[in-house]
Amino acid sequence: MTALPPLPYETPATEHDLEVMRGQLGRDMRGVVSIARRCGCGRPAVVRTSPRLEDGTPFPTSLYLTLPWLTLDISRIEATGTMADLTERLAADEELAAGYQRAHERYLARRAEIGDAEEVRHVSAGGMPTRVKCLHAVAGQALAEGPGINPVADEVLATIDGVLPELVCRCDADVDGTAELHATTQETAGTGEGR
């Protein structure tokens, strides 16, 4: 494969980014190479990681989705059985399957730019190239690369408001379902109501 163009949204990862990702994930993100895509507010959305972690562990997911609201939206889509439907479509739709195969090959080439881990050299992410196993992984690729690279991810992301064409910030969205409760508590705190 010829050299790939640079990732269109890639920026260096700062110490602040690492702190933000710790809050997003509830743990330290290991093997960080860069931020492959940012939310509209500037927070990390997709992190680019090394194929081999500091402790020697191979890590095939080199484009890792970290944005909580988008992770939640994609989890909800996964819960509907979409992955099985998409896998069936891959078996029946030659054009979709060919595009997904190209996305797989690009994922491998993109990861090889960073380094090598022989154990996962031929393993991309998300079930590529023959099935859809993790929409988070394929969405990470699509967000990092831009549209037109992974047709399965493009299709899924098109169903989520505020993702395409630009990643609109919803970081303060009601991710845990308690925003209304928090707002009510804030409104009544000074009045003596709700205590």
Cβ proximity of 13 and 47 under 8 Å: yes
Taking the C-alpha atoms of residue 142 and residue 107, their distance in angstroms, rounded to an integer, is: 10
pTM for the whole structure: 0.86
pLDDT recorded at residue 163: 87
Q: Which residues contact 48 (CB under 8 A, 6 or more apart)?
A: 7, 10, 32, 33, 34, 35, 36, 62, 63, 64, 114, 144
Whole-number Å distance between alpha carbons of 65 and 44: 9
pLDDT at 189 over 50: no
**H/E run at residue 90:** helix 82-92
The pLDDT of residue 184: 33
> Above pLDDT 70, what percent of the chain?
88
DSSP SS3 for 153 = helix
pLDDT given at position 175: 54
- Residues 24 and 66: their CA atoms lie apart, in Å, by 6
Query: Is residue 158 scored above 60 in pLDDT?
Result: yes
Judged against a pLDDT cut of 80, whether residue 187 lies above it is answered with no
Whether the predicted pLDDT of 167 surpasses 60: yes
Proportion of the chain above pLDDT 90, given as a percent: 82
Residues 6 or more apart in contact with residue 124 via CB below 8 angstroms: 60, 103, 104, 107, 108, 111
* pLDDT on residue 120: 94
Q: Dig out the tokens for 56 from the structure.
A: 């020697």
Radius of gyration over alpha carbons of the chain, in Å?
Answer: 18
Greater model confidence, 161 or 70: 70
- Rounded alpha-carbon distances, angstroms, from residue 52 to 49, 58, 61, 130, 136: 8, 4, 10, 24, 20
Torsional sign, CA 177, 25, 137, 172: positive
- What's the pLDDT band for 174 if we cut at 50, 70, 90? low
Average pLDDT estimate for 109-131: 95
Instruction: Give the whole-angstrom CA distance, residue 127 versus residue 184.
Output: 43
Q: In whole angstroms, give the CA distance from residue 152 to residue 139.
A: 9
